[in-house]
Structure 1
Amino acid sequence: MRLLFVALVALTLAAAVGLGSTWMTTTRGTEFGTLTIGAWTARPRIGTVDIDPYSRATITRNGELPIGAGDGIAFAATRDDKKKPLDGRCDVVVSGVTPAARFWTLTLYDTKGHLVANTLQRYGFTSEEVVRGADGGFEIHIAPRARAGNWLPTGGIERYALMFSLYDTPVGVATRNRRDAPMPTVATMGCP
């Protein structure tokens, strides 16, 4: 009887640890196969058959539809280049140039993965509509109050994420650093 009790306790403990670790990896993600350049992080293998099982479980749980490896790559940022969390009450500037791509989008999401509601119904910019400088670079201001030029309203939410998707680009599994893919900088300029 004692052996049966010990076996049940061991199985219960193993099931709790297994289910707990699975829940944590599907809700918080994993670092397997990630590519980090400045504030931007991507998982180049997520749209391939080489996807790791944890990323596959996360996609299934969240109902995401990842960009296929032949189509492009998606980078996310929840912190600026100095590792400060992106705060919708602060002024943040995304600036610079982008890696070679036929088309790109920069979109603003809340922490639950929903578009940030605002009265202008502006949720992002594309490579075709962003206003650029003479050198080809751009500045996108992400702030609660209106700014001249490229501006994304945050609505003053506390935390948000930026999704930078590159389509028809050579950036992917073989990319290792900023020299291979010159990503825009993300800088917090000030908070009220």
Structure 2
Amino acid sequence: MRLTLLVALAIAVALSLGGWSARWAVEQSADVGTVTVGPWVANPFAGAPDADPYSRARLAKVGNLTLGIGEGILFRAEVDDSGRPLRRECNYAIAGTTPPARVFSLVPYTPNGALIEPAVGRPGWLTSNNLMRHEDNSFRIGIGPQAHAGNWLATSGHGPLILALALYDTPAAASSGVASLVLPGITLEGCSRG
């Protein structure tokens, strides 16, 4: 009986430590294969058939669908250009250009992956085919609860904000020089009180 209890205890300890160490390894390896361009972070090879096992495990855990190498690349921003965390109640300006792409989309999410509800009567995302641009093809997008003239992505509520910039059908997705890309900056313009 004592031997059975010791074996059961050893198996329980091994399974617990094994599960904990696997979870820790997946969470600590979040930066494996990632590329940072200003405040934007991407894992260009996460959707590749030969992606590293940690990227596959992270995608399986989160349940996120990712773009394949030939489809495009997804950048996420959780901070602005100064390194401050993005907040739903704050107003930001995204200004600059993107690498060549057939189309891109900009979508605000919560940290758990839910689309942030826009203000009444406003779309929850923007796409490049309906943006107003400057003569040099650059653009400026206002993001936040307060209305902006021109391009505006309305958000509502309070709490953290994650911006997802997806470039579809772009040569940048297959490029080994993803880190040398130029992406728009994210500048804090102010936060509402309350």
TM-score (norm 1): 0.87
CA RMSD in angstroms comes to: 2.3
Taking the aligned partners of 1:153 and 1:25, their CA distance within structure 2 comes to 37
> 1:42 maps to which residue?
42
CA distance 1:31–1:7, shift in 2 (3 Å): farther
> 2:98 maps to which residue?
98
Aligned 1:1-192 pairs, distance under 5 A: 9-24=9-24, 30-118=30-118, 119-172=120-173, 174-177=176-179, 180-192=180-192
Q: For 1:168, give the aligned amino acid.
A: D
Q: For 1:32, give the aligned amino acid.
A: V
Taking the aligned partners of 1:128 and 1:25, their CA distance within structure 2 comes to 40
Please state how far the C-alpha of 1:135 moved relative to its aligned partner.
1.9
C-alpha contact (below 8 Å) 2:93/2:189 kept by paired residues: yes
In the alignment of these two chains, the number of paired residues is: 190
What does the per-residue CA deviation read over 1:88-132, in whole Å, with 9 as the maximum and x for residues that have no partner? 111111110101111111111112211111222411111110111
Taking the aligned partners of 1:169 and 1:37, their CA distance within structure 2 comes to 16
Please state how far the C-alpha of 1:144 moved relative to its aligned partner.
1.1
Please state how far the C-alpha of 1:3 moved relative to its aligned partner.
7.7
When structure 1 is superposed on structure 2, of 96-105 and 49-58 the one drifting more is 49-58
What does the per-residue CA deviation read over 1:116-167, in whole Å, with 9 as the maximum and x for residues that have no partner? 1122241111111011112211111111121111111110321111110111
Task: Tell me the secondary structure at the aligned position of residue 171 of structure 1.
Answer: helix
When structure 1 is superposed on structure 2, of 67-76 and 113-122 the one drifting more is 113-122
CA distance 1:168–1:50, shift in 2 (3 Å): same
Task: Tell me the secondary structure at the aligned position of residue 164 of structure 1.
Answer: strand
Q: Which blocks of at least 5 consecutive residues in structure 1 are unaligned?
A: none
Identity %: 36
Taking the aligned partners of 2:178 and 2:64, their CA distance within structure 1 comes to 25
Please state how far the C-alpha of 1:34 moved relative to its aligned partner.
0.4
CA distance 1:7–1:176, shift in 2 (3 Å): farther
C-alpha contact (below 8 Å) 1:25/1:58 kept by paired residues: no
Please state how far the C-alpha of 1:44 moved relative to its aligned partner.
0.8
Q: For 1:80, give the aligned amino acid.
A: D
Q: Which blocks of at least 5 consecutive residues in structure 2 are unaligned?
A: none
Task: Tell me the secondary structure at the aligned position of residue 45 of structure 1.
Answer: coil
Taking the aligned partners of 1:84 and 1:189, their CA distance within structure 2 comes to 12
Taking the aligned partners of 1:79 and 1:107, their CA distance within structure 2 comes to 15
Taking the aligned partners of 2:130 and 2:167, their CA distance within structure 1 comes to 15
Taking the aligned partners of 2:122 and 2:15, their CA distance within structure 1 comes to 46
Taking the aligned partners of 1:21 and 1:128, their CA distance within structure 2 comes to 45
